[in-house]
Amino acid sequence: MFDFLKKIFSPIERADLTELIKKKAYLVDVRTPGEYAQGHPKGSVNIPLDKLASNLDKFKGKKDIIVFCRSGNRSSQAKSFLESKGVSNITDGGTWDNVAQYTG
């Protein structure tokens, strides 16, 4: 049980993010456009959490997807929502600055 909880609540491992970014993962910032404009990881796109439903087509054919936000809360919601819509291979990257440190 502890391993299960640890996996859910632990931040993604550095090696995992590095590998996914090297493989050209689709980087999706789910913050608001205003937050995104203040800073975002290189190569990311901005699809706010409340706009995911109307942008599902942007996820088709993407092999690896990393979602992230300011605190990790919205990215967790985004991952759950996208998975409920049949989108797979999604990684919750947590915070945008966590992802940014691996994008150069």
Q: Kindly report the three-state secondary structure assignment for every residue of 54-74.
A: HHHHHHCCCCCEEEEECCCHH
Summarised one tens digit per residue, pLDDT across range 31-79 is: 999 999 999 999 999 999 999 999 999 999 999 999 999 999 999 999 9
- Domain of residue 90, CATH code: 3.40.250.10
Instruction: Tokens 């919205």: give the residue.
Output: 74
| Cα–Cα distance, 41 to 93 (Å, whole number) | 11
User: What span, in angstroms and rounded, lies between the C-alpha atoms of 83 and 32?
Assistant: 21
> Which domain range does residue 30 map to?
2-100
Going across the sheet that includes 90-95, the strands are: 45-46, 26-29, 65-69, 90-95
Confidence band, pLDDT 50/70/90 cuts, at residue 9: very low
Residue 104 pLDDT level (bands cut at 50, 70, 90):
confident
Residues 68 and 62: their CA atoms lie apart, in Å, by: 16
Place of tokens 């691996």: 102
- For the chain, the domain total comes to 1
